[in-house]
Structure 1
Amino acid sequence: MAGGPPFSLGVETHEGLAALTRAIRAEEDGKQLRRELARNMREALKPAAGEAKSSIMAMPSSGLMPTAPALRSAVARKIRPEVKLGGRWSGARVKAFKTKNVRGFPNAPKRLNRSGGWRHPVYGNREIWVQQHGKVDWFDDAFKGREGSYRAAVEAAMENMARRIADRAQ
């Protein structure tokens, strides 16, 4: 190749991320570069995860017995940035993972965010069911108006890695 990088520096698209990942694999220390890119992309999304955590913690709670596990804090612990480089899906996102062992409510993050809420029996009595609603769109509203800054931070991490690889090639 005559003087240019082996891939496009415009990595803001999925194709650009795929090209960057291929270029990293071709490098001698590719595994280390890939880990560093993933770490930098996660760091760029940590403020977004913090916003989502504070949003769920701001949800009102009437509380249950003091012995029951706290739902809001369990959901907040399961919110974290996720980065995948390669495979069926490549990219970076903030994700609320399932809460497996909290009150028998594995889909708590998803159900708390839905306008329809969820149905459950009253204190385990299978004859009396109620419809309960959470704080609608707590996850989606946490990023409202700041999506562009989080996207720009992730793209900046990708561009920095692309520049480093391009500088090596020259």
Structure 2
Amino acid sequence: MIELSADSQALQALAKRLSQEADGKKLRRDLAKEIRQALEPAKQEIRAGLMGMSTAGIPVEGAPLRTTVLKQLKAEARLTGRSTGARLRIRKKGMPRGFDNAPKRLNRKKGWRHRVYGRDVWVQQIGAPDYFDRPTRQHRAQYRAAVLKAMNDTARRITRR
């Protein structure tokens, strides 16, 4: 999970001002939607990085690991509370074959160890190192600027009334 904090106090103040407006709920939904859209390029880079991971080509039961991880990838915008801001998150819940830490382990450079099915042999497996961290770290300033732009646009909409 990576968090992108864009002056959380300013975002909280804006959210408070939105609640005082007549159509505040609509403005609030629009702001949250714009913030989530600002993180869309990061989601696409993460998707490309994970789908570029090599596979053994062995058919498995159930959903493939990469697609299951990507289904859990969400951009979130939180306008109130302690963790005010925008973030990309992959939930652990629902990972196949009981591999709840799959998103985290796929991102690690060291990978993870697991037993070979039916034997007492352990192997080291590497996923797609930095599929999540690299795009979010690399373009952090751009995402922050996009979130601030969404906040400023909403503030302008309020003041124009």
The question of a shared fold, defined as TM-score above 0.5 by the shorter chain, is answered with yes
Who is 1:5 aligned against? none
Who is 2:69 aligned against? 75
The runs of 4+ residues in structure 1 deviating greater than 6 Å are none
Pairwise CA RMSD: 1.8
Count of residues in correspondence between the two structures: 156
Gaps of 5+ in 2: 1-5
Identity %: 45
Residue among 28, 45, 49 paired with 2:43 = 49
Q: Aligned to 1:143, what secondary structure does the other structure show?
A: helix
The answer as to whether partners of 1:98 and 1:109 remain within 8 angstroms in 2 is yes
1:36 aligns with 2:30: yes
Gaps of 5+ in 1: 1-11
Instruction: Read off the aligned partner of 1:25 and give its amino acid letter.
Output: S
CA displacement 1:39-74 (0-9 Å, x = unmatched): 111111112111111110011111332434311121
State the TM-score, normalized to the length of structure 1: 0.82
Who is 2:3 aligned against? none
1:119 aligns with 2:105: no
Who is 1:108 aligned against? 102
The answer as to whether partners of 1:69 and 1:102 remain within 8 angstroms in 2 is yes
Instruction: Read off the aligned partner of 1:133 and give its amino acid letter.
Output: I
Cα distance in structure 1, aligned partners of 2:135 and 2:58: 26
Cα distance in structure 2, aligned partners of 1:27 and 1:84: 19
Q: Aligned to 2:74, what secondary structure does the other structure show?
A: strand
Who is 1:7 aligned against? none
The answer as to whether partners of 1:14 and 1:91 remain within 8 angstroms in 2 is yes
State the TM-score, normalized to the length of structure 2: 0.87
CA displacement 1:110-153 (0-9 Å, x = unmatched): 1111123222221154x333232222111112235322222111
1:142 aligns with 2:152: no
